[in-house]
Amino acid sequence: MPRALNKMTKGGVGYKRPPEIEASIDEALGQKPEEQLRRANIRDPADSAYMSSECLVHLVREARLSGDKRAVDRLLIPLLSRCERRLKRTIPDSRPDAQGLRDEVLQTFCELLARVGTNQDATALDLFECKFNKGLATLRYRRMRKENNRGKLFRDIGREVDEDGQPVDPNDTLGRLSRAAQTPAGQEDFVHLAEMLEAIKELPPAQRKAVELCCLQGYAPGSEDPNEITAATMCGVSGTAIRKNLRKAAEKLKAL
Amino acid sequence: MITYAPMPLDDVLHAFAMAKAVPDPGTLEEFTRKYPAYADELTEFAVDLLLDSAIEDEADETEVGESVSPAVSRAISYFQNALYELERSRPRPSKAFRKPRTRLRIWIESVSDRWRAVCAPTIHS
């Protein structure tokens, strides 16, 4: 049975891990260190032996609490590698000083891990044992809020034109989506964004990818600079292909 | 009237993150009504969570090996430094705490010396 979490809600109820996480921790605790490490290093969530990140956080915390330095050293690498991969996707290179921001979020996470077993408060890690990605999202949000630079990330898709000089998004559908994803955002932006994200899921994969990269992550569709990372270079297609996909997506989404 | 200390922003954000798998307008409204001081932060955070939920964990094709990325190396080094600092700042028993034990020892030794001194002639005689 995994150790109970300490963090309490305002109503005095303790945080509870989802049952499937609880079960996976139970299973991992009964495994040998070599097997735990093998599973921690699996990077494909679809692999049946894949260890959830929530479970991995728990194992590192337990190792810290029991003073098992060797286990901490071994499991810390796959855990931090997962954090890094997630942060690379959620703090894209299109953002100014993306690497610096990712480093700072990773450092805050490391500080929390270092606090385990000391008199310092490490209960913030409880969220990571329940919903790992949300824990990371919270640290990211807190760091971004300090910086208050989200507005710089988003590209005005409304100004994009295709090779014939025609606007890619004449109805400003994608432009509105991009603005709704910016902060400071109002509650109406949140409602609009929630509806749009549902609709984006229904788009064909190439259109969906183009919208995600350009409207939500702020990448340019393409660039004349061969060294610039753009949606085109990320997808391995031309900027023209990305703009075509954006135009088709805008056409489908404009009804919303 | 009883007034409660305001809940720290981090705790409110954590509670919001835990409330639903994907935040919805109803939950956002409920939280902004409950914590009006954090309405802006909650709305921004809700947008962040929404965008975050649209990004799924994908399989990583890069080869798994012994090599560690520079970012992870920096993070590990930061972790080791943080551990060292926390260890260093951990309170240790002060001299003031150790003194009574030393005084007690001195007192016991002096009493036993005196006892020996008092008893010694009796024993010899």
Spatial contact of A91 and A105, defined as CB atoms under 8 Å apart? yes
The per-residue pLDDT for A105 is 96
pLDDT in tens, B62-97: 555 557 999 999 999 999 999 999 888 776 655 555
Cβ within 8 Å of residue A147, ≥6 positions away:
A101
| Residue from the list B14, B28, B47 with its beta carbon closest to the beta carbon of A183 | B47
Domain boundaries, chain A: 19-147, 154-253
Give the span between the Cα atoms of A105 and A100, in whole angstroms.
Answer: 9
| Residue from the list A15, A43, A130 with its beta carbon closest to the beta carbon of B59 | A43
CB–CB of A81 and B83 under 8 A?
A: no
Top pLDDT among A4 and B60 is at A4
* Residues of chain B neighbouring A138 (CB-CB closer than 8 A): 10, 13-14, 17, 45
Q: Decide: helix, strand or coil at residue B62.
A: coil
- Give the confidence band of B124 by pLDDT, cuts at 50, 70, 90: very low
Give the span between the Cα atoms of A128 and A110, in whole angstroms.
Answer: 13
Spatial contact of B35 and B43, defined as CB atoms under 8 Å apart? no
CB–CB of B64 and A90 under 8 A?
A: no
ipTM of the complex: 0.81
Task: Assess A77–B contact: CB distance below 8 Å, yes or no.
Answer: yes
Q: What is the pTM of this model?
A: 0.79
* Residues of chain B neighbouring A119 (CB-CB closer than 8 A): 90
Instruction: Name residue, tokens 């409330």.
Output: B19
Chain A, 100 to 119: residues with Cβ < 8 Å from chain B are 102-103, 106-107, 109-111, 113-115, 118-119
pLDDT in tens, A208-251: 999 988 888 888 898 888 888 899 999 999 999 999 999 999 98
Top pLDDT among B107 and B80 is at B80
Enumerate the H helices of A51-184 as residue ranges: 53-65, 69-90, 98-115, 125-130, 132-147, 173-180
Distance from CA of B99 to the nearest CA of A (A): 26
pLDDT in tens, chain A (256 residues): 888 888 877 677 788 899 999 999 999 999 999 999 999 999 888 999 999 999 999 999 999 999 999 999 999 999 999 999 999 988 888 887 889 999 999 999 999 999 998 888 888 899 999 999 999 999 999 888 876 655 445 566 767 777 777 788 888 888 888 877 765 567 777 888 888 888 998 999 999 999 988 888 888 898 888 888 899 999 999 999 999 999 999 988 887 6
The per-residue pLDDT for B125 is 40
Q: Is B79 exposed, middle or buried (0-12, 13-18, 19+ CB in 10 A)?
A: buried
Q: How many CB pairs under 8 A join A and B?
A: 150
CA neighbor of B39 nearest in space, from B18, B22, B5, B16: B16
Top pLDDT among A196 and B116 is at A196
